[in-house]
Amino acid sequence: MGKVINFHEVTDRNWFDRTIFFLKDKYRIVSPGEFEDLYNNSSLSGVCLITVDDGASSFYINIYPVLKKYNLPAILFVSPEIILQRKNFWFQEIAGYEDMLLKKIYIEVIDKDFNLHKIGKFPIEHLLKCLKIVQIWKIINLYRGKYNIEKKKCINMSVDEIREVEQSGLVTIGAHTLSHPVLANENEPVARNEIISSFRDLEKILRHKIIYFAYPNGIPGFDYGEREVAILKAGGCRMAFTTVTGNTMAMSDLLNIPRYGLTCGDSREYIQARFFFGSMWNRVMRLKQGNEIDNRRSIIKILNLSVQ
């Protein structure tokens, strides 16, 4: 069994250094190409693949120097619309916004007669993840206009930085859609364009074929489904990664690869517990009150009721 580790924003280089030191002491950290070869030869035991989603500037500042220090490979999944337009992802843009004010605008966009108390208890991120990407940005833009808020400075990597880390030979670039929507919320043409165009635009930037992909949010059957897998398969994608916790075995599906998501600050004991529970961790998290899946299911039900 192989392990795929996933990071997002890492603001503490020392923590990342300690975590990587711990991982490389226990596992052989391999490149995505070697991981794929080992899968095909049923030899994944004891190997580990490092992945990072989104391409925040913290990758260049805190993660990349540690990879160079230990001469270790990784995959970085980026959204070309974000890096080309020098903008933030929607979840980066709303950081620090007033929660209840955003929810009031949310109601205006969804249903003007909707009662705030029905959705007030839910985190705004969970509410927004139930919408199409154009609706999310409409809410953000209305908030900016109403409260005279300027766009935040971009906190993501530039095209030059993406090229630099790839040219090091340590970092493989993969696609992460154009703009990070929850694909299951979108109609087929939008979902197809988000996937296919993310490969195409990255190939234009880097001048070679892109063959790996990470699903935004990444919960199978909830954030994406068979439609998205079929689009990737038809486009020649070789490996696609989820956010579900678990190990990768030789007979598993390479377009639905589980990953252990680690967050900056996680202790070694916590990481070891994640590894010990493996795929059971998903069930443990579902027992937690206010977990994302249960919240979003409740929100979807409320939104459907509000339309009736």
Q: Give yes or no: residues 83 and 179 share one domain.
A: yes
192 and 77 part of one domain: yes
Query: Is residue 230 domain-shared with residue 163, that is, in the same domain?
Result: yes
Mean pLDDT of 107-114: 81
272, 290: one domain: no
- Tens of pLDDT along 208-262? 999 999 999 999 999 999 999 999 999 999 999 999 999 988 778 999 999 999 9
Cα–Cα distance list, 155 to 11, 68, 82, 199, 258 (Å) = 12, 22, 10, 22, 27
Return the pLDDT at 278. Answer: 82
Per residue in 10-53, pLDDT (tens digit) is 999 999 999 999 999 999 999 999 999 998 887 888 999 999 99
Instruction: Tell me the pLDDT band of 280, cut-offs 50, 70 and 90.
Output: confident
Same domain, residue pair 209 and 287: no
Residue 266 in tokens: 């996680």
Share of the chain above pLDDT 90, in %: 82
Of 284 and 95, more confident: 95
pLDDT at 290: 79
Residue 307 has a pLDDT of 42
Q: What angle do CA 292, 294, 295 make, to 5 degrees?
A: 60
Bridge partners of 260, per DSSP, are 5
The total domain count for the chain is 2
> In this predicted model, what pLDDT tens digit does every residue of 170-182 receive, in sequence order?
999 999 999 999 9
Residue 48: its H or E element: strand 47-54
Q: Has residue 132 got a pLDDT over 70?
A: yes
The reply to whether 125 and 252 lie within a common domain is no
Q: What percent of the chain has pLDDT over 70?
A: 98
**Size (the chain), residues:** 308
| Residue entry with tokens 């919320």 | 185
Same domain, yes or no: 132 and 179: no
pLDDT in the model for residue 308: 33
Do the beta carbons of residue 125 and residue 23 sit within 8 Å?
no
Confidence of residue 285 (pLDDT cuts 50, 70, 90): confident
14 and 55 share one domain:
yes
Q: Please give the pLDDT value at position 112.
A: 63
Q: Over 80: is that where the pLDDT of 286 sits?
A: no
Q: Residue 65 maps to which CATH number?
A: 3.20.20.370
Indicate if the pLDDT at residue 268 is higher than 90: yes
Contact 194, 183 (CB under 8 A): yes
Give the per-residue pLDDT at 277. 84
224 and 303 belong to one structural domain: no
pLDDT for 305 beyond 60: no
Does one domain contain both 171 and 43? yes
Task: Give the residue numbers spanning the domain of 92.
Answer: 88-153+282-308
Residues 82, 172: one domain? yes
SS3 262: coil
Q: Are residues 135 and 25 in the same domain?
A: no
